[in-house]
Amino acid sequence: MSTLEIRDLHVSVETKEGAKPILRGVDLTINSGETHAIMGPNGSGKSTLASALAGHPKYEVTSGTVTLDGEDVLQMSVDERARAGLFLAMQYPVEVPGVSVANFLRTAKTAIAGEAPALRTWGREVKQAMEHLRIDPAFAERSVNEGFSGGEKKRHEILQMELFAPRFAILDETDSGLDVDALRIVSEGVNRAKANTDVGVLLITHYTRILRYIKPDFVHVFVDGAIAEEGGPELAERLEEEGYDRFLTAATA
């Protein structure tokens, strides 16, 4: 059992006008096997939380702590965090021209596992995972994310989640831009990973429709850089009906 613990996290983003505070004291504890949904209006800081956890250099942690089984995550470099078991499925995955998906997956797996995966089993594993996510085998030879459609990019992110078997996965709006079929395929991928590896999931979303496929244990409402309310799955339903108005007034009052 692993625990990812976020305590009173304050984060600023680097802008041309100087550091701009975005996160104002986030507290969150995620255990293996748990699924936490984070919902909140545009610009409330959800992606900032995801990027800060992954160690993006543009985001500066000004105070607070993040630990993974007691280890200080904030002291780790970006690649160290990934090797320690953190995975971020990005809202906007980056194109890497000239680097094939196959080469990328093998290089990353090798880095994360600390040794090259056995050639034969790895090939089979990749092929099967791609099949499950309905990713055409031809994608293996394409450049990472280059010319992928929005939905293809998201499926490629979940492909990695399945293959790299992280301890904690942060999914930043993985459901955005997916049609109904793609949403189901991607959700099945996440659920497979949960079943196979007991991964803890932090699911950032605007919509409850993905929560019909991926059942959250906890729902957190994110407003103005902090968690404004917490509850079970029923909170998501309420948000769908009522929107965020109730919190926004509270935050601006």
Residues 6 or more apart from 144 whose CB is under 8 A from it?
94, 95, 96, 99, 100, 101, 104, 156
Stretch that binds another protein, among 71-79, 179-187, 216-224, 227-235 (CB under 8 A): 71-79
Do 204 and 50 contact (CB within 8 A), yes or no?
A: yes
* Residue 77 makes contact with another protein by CB under 8 A: yes
* Residue 108 makes contact with another protein by CB under 8 A: yes
* Residue 215 makes contact with ligand ATP by CB under 6 A: no
Task: Please choose which of Mg ion, another protein, ligand ATP, none residue 45 contacts, taking the beta carbon within 5 to 8 angstroms, the exact cut-off set by kind.
Answer: ligand ATP
Residue 204: name the closest of 55, 74, 30 by CA. 30
In the shown chain, the binding pattern of residues 17 to 36 toward ligand ATP, with x for contact by CB under 6 A and - for none, equals ---x-x--------------
SS3 17: coil
CB atoms within 10 A of CB 80: 13
Q: Which of 42, 75, 121, 249 is in the footprint of ligand ATP by CB under 6 A? A: 42
Report the alpha-carbon distance of residue 98 to residue 166 in Å, rounded: 26
Q: Report DSSP state, residue 93.
A: P
Cβ-based nearer residue to ligand ATP, 13 or 227: 13
Report the alpha-carbon distance of residue 205 to residue 17 in Å, rounded: 29
Cβ-based nearer residue to another protein, 89 or 182: 89
Q: Which of 19, 21, 25, 58 is in the footprint of ligand ATP by CB under 6 A? A: 58
CA atoms within 13 A on the CB side of 46: 26
Q: Report DSSP state, residue 138.
A: G
Q: Which of residues 15-54 bind another protein (CB under 8 A)?
A: 54
* Residue 165 makes contact with another protein by CB under 8 A: no
Report the alpha-carbon distance of residue 34 to residue 30 in Å, rounded: 7
Q: Which of 1, 94, 119, 138 is in the footprint of another protein by CB under 8 A? A: 94
Task: Please choose which of ligand ATP, Mg ion, another protein, none residue 54 contacts, taking the beta carbon within 5 to 8 angstroms, the exact cut-off set by kind.
Answer: another protein
Helices and strands: H and E segment counts in the chain: 8, 12
Report the alpha-carbon distance of residue 251 to residue 235 in Å, rounded: 18
* Residue 46 makes contact with ligand ATP by CB under 6 A: yes
* Residue 47 makes contact with Mg ion by CB under 5 A: yes
Residues at the site binding another protein, with contacts judged by CB under 8 A: 54-57, 77-79, 81-83, 88, 90, 93-99, 103-104, 107-108, 111-112, 143-144, 160, 164
Residues at the site binding Mg ion, with contacts judged by CB under 5 A: 46-47, 91
